[in-house]
Structure formats: structure tokens, C-alpha cells
Amino acid sequence: QAFLFQGLPPDLETFASLKRTFFCLFYLLVMPTFWDIPGMQPGVITGDTAKALLKHAKDTGYVIPAINCSSSGTVNSCLEAATTMGKPVIIQFSEDGSASFVGKGLPNEHGVKAASILGAVAAAHYVRNVSPAYGIPVLVNTDLCAKTSLAWLDGMLEADEGFFKAHGEPLFSSHLVEDGAEYLKKMAPLNIIGDLGDYSCVKTVGNDTQWAYYDKRDWELTMVGLVKEAFTNPSLGA
């Protein structure tokens, strides 16, 4: 049997596989990349641009890891890794990680959370100043804020509001809050992505809030829905 092209396999199953591979390669070449999203730029992105990036990741099937950081060194390592991969990343700060960013020696009393607020705000400004040099888009997210630590979120939202008045966008890209639908009303005018969830594993012991894992439901346009099982749970990150 003669074939039009030399080396074309007579095995129809193999030929079909090659056709699928060719189609996939063609699709990857012609489909829009995240750099084609309006407003996309190196450094911290917020609002509609951040939402569009999350949707692009979900629609095209790639993962944007959310990595907890507690120092400038861990931030730098995450940015360097993301640059090496040529992919966007979510830099994330927990309540304790935020306090660590400015040093554990500062007061951080329950109901005030001064060190956690200062650390989160300082960390967000640090990421904003440094990340453009790494040449990749970055979302700045805060990890789970439990009901017992709302003072931390209130302080960050105050910083978001001040930054928004000065620059037309929030300081942070998104905030993750436990069962705080009322906070969405505060975030919406500032164009902040609000992530809500049912965290059945959250428990409070005295003034300490502890949690073990994220809810695995596929949330629309949230951090949780985009971090697949192959990645370490962000709440257990560095």
C-alpha cells in the first residue's frame, strides 16, 4: 500500500494518535496566552485582570500554585521559581506568617493583631516593589482569616482602601475569609477577589485557630479551585 508521505504509519490507530498530537500542538500555538489578557503585566495584578487570569487558568487547564510565605526570602524563592517556569504565581500570607514577616517580637494580642496587620501590609508592599523585576504576573492573597481573627482582616482592608484611593486598585489581590459573606460587600467596591468557603476542619482552641486542610470543592474563580491535588496544600506551605 502506497502512502502520500514517506514514513506515514500504516497503523490507523497510530495515525489517529498523531492527528490528535498535531491538533494539540496547533492549539497550543494559536490559543491566547495569559499575556494576551487585557491589562496583564509583570508584578502584582488585581481586579478584572486577576479574575481573567484565574479564569484563563481554569479554562485552559493549568495550575497557579498558592504558596504561603513568611519572609522576604521565601517570597524571593517563589518568584524565582515562577520566573524559571515562566508562569504566574500566588504569593500568600497567613496570619502567623504575616507576623513573622516583621518579627515575632512585636505585640500581636488577640482582638488587635497589630503585628499580623503590619506584617501583611509590609509583605504586600514588598511583593509589589520586587515582583515586576521577575517578569511574571503575581497575585497577593491572604490565607484563611477565621472568625476569631477578623481584626487582622479589618486592618488589611483599611490598607486596601487607602491604597485604592491613592492608586485606583487594592493593595492585595484577594482575601480568604471563613464564613464572612458580609465582608464581600466591603471588598466589592475595592475590586478585591473575596474567597469564601466551608471549612469544616476549622476549630478554635482558646484564642488559637487551627486548621488542617482546604475544602476540595471546585470554587469558581478562587484559589482553591485552581490548585489541583498534585500540589501541596497551600495552608501547609512554607
Active site annotation includes 59 = no
Cα 139 to Cα 144: distance, rounded to the nearest angstrom: 16
Cα 64 to Cα 10: distance, rounded to the nearest angstrom: 41
Strand-pair partners of 89: 138
**Average pLDDT over every residue of 3-12:** 46
Out of 11, 59, 96, 143, pick the active-site residue: 143
What's the chain's average pLDDT?
A: 77
**Average pLDDT over every residue of 18-39:** 68
When computed from its CA atoms, the radius of gyration of the chain, rounded to whole angstroms, is 21
* Strand, helix or coil for residue 121: helix
pLDDT one-digit tens code per residue, 97-149 = 999 999 989 999 988 999 999 999 999 999 999 999 999 999 999 998 888 88
Q: Residue 63 pLDDT more than 50? A: yes
pLDDT one-digit tens code per residue, 191-232 = 999 876 544 444 444 444 333 333 333 333 333 333 333 233
Q: Residue 10 pLDDT more than 70? A: no
Q: Which run of H or of E encompasses 137?
A: strand 137-145
Percentage above 90 pLDDT, the chain: 52
pLDDT, position 26: 54
Give 167's pLDDT tier (boundaries 50, 70, 90): very high
Higher-pLDDT residue of 231 and 96 is 96
Q: Residue 27 pLDDT more than 90? A: no
| Size of the chain, expressed as the number of residues it contains | 238
pLDDT, position 132: 98
Cα 168 to Cα 181: distance, rounded to the nearest angstrom: 24
pLDDT, position 20: 63
Cα 116 to Cα 27: distance, rounded to the nearest angstrom: 45
pLDDT, position 84: 92
